[in-house]
């Protein structure tokens, strides 16, 4: 009986070890190598550098709190846009916490822009909590505020937003969206001085 047990265990242990090495070491290393060779920017987080310093990523949202910039949607990922805490809030439609948070954000936005319909993505978080994109409507909603603060013609900002709208891949995969990081970089490139 002991002989049968050892002869049955040996292949199980060998196969477990083999698959652990294959799928736990070799495959991840191969995929990492291919990613670095074929898509190095994407494999490294789509980081954007300026003057040798990383200033952000096009695929991870970040907080723009200044009135001079377009704001992205709120984050549920820890304290701001922490990649280590990526997740949704898991608050359902009946949650009083969610209701209170959205009501507070809507109140702030209505006080700043009375009478304007507020796009939902400016008061709700994304599933990951790290979404870098907003709807074109959410970007256009913010144009008047930024035009006032930066003393820029609103129509120039509307053209800027229209020029940054990304269409669905192949015309049907995904939604129309605006990458807030790229939009704010283009906004800074306009060279307008902020109001003192």
Q: Say yes or no to pLDDT of 26 above 80.
A: yes
Phi, psi (degrees; rounded to nearest 5) at 127: -60, -40
CA 109 → CA 12, 103, 104, 180, distances in Å? 62, 10, 9, 18
Ranges 63-72, 108-117, 121-130, 157-166, most confident: 157-166
Q: Say yes or no to pLDDT of 19 above 90.
A: yes
Q: pTM here?
A: 0.75
The residue-averaged pLDDT of 99-116 equals 88
Which pLDDT score is estimated for 142?
94
Residue 9 burial (CB count, 10 A)? 10
Write out pLDDT tens, residues 37-67: 999 888 888 888 888 898 888 888 888 888 8
Q: What is the DSSP letter of 44?
A: T
Question: Are 134 and 177 contacting, i.e. CB atoms less than 8 angstroms apart?
Answer: yes
Question: Are 163 and 178 contacting, i.e. CB atoms less than 8 angstroms apart?
Answer: no
Question: Are 68 and 194 contacting, i.e. CB atoms less than 8 angstroms apart?
Answer: yes
Distance CA 133, CA 58 (A): 9
């Amino acid at each position: 009986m002991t002989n049968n047990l050892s002869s049955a265990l040996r292949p199980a242990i060998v196969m477990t070890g083999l698959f652990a090495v294959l799928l736990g070491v070799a495959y991840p290393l191969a995929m990492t190598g291919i990613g670095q060779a074929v898509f190095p920017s994407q494999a490294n987080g789509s980081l954007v550098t300026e003057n040798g310093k990383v200033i952000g990523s096009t695929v991870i949202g970040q907080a723009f709190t200044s009135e001079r910039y377009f704001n992205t949607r709120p984050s549920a990922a820890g304290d701001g846009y922490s990649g280590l805490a990526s997740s949704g809030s898991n608050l359902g439609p009946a949650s009083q916490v969610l209701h209170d948070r959205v009501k507070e954000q809507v109140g702030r936005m209505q006080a700043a822009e009375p009478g304007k319909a507020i796009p939902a993505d400016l008061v709700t978080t994304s599933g990951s909590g790290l979404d870098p994109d907003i709807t074109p409507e959410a970007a256009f909603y913010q144009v008047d505020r930024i035009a006032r603060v930066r003393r820029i013609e609103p129509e120039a900002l509307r053209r800027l937003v229209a020029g940054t709208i990304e269409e669905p891949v192949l015309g049907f995969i995904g939604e129309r969206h605006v990458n807030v990081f790229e939009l704010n970089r283009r906004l800074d490139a306009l060279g307008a001085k902020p109001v003192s």
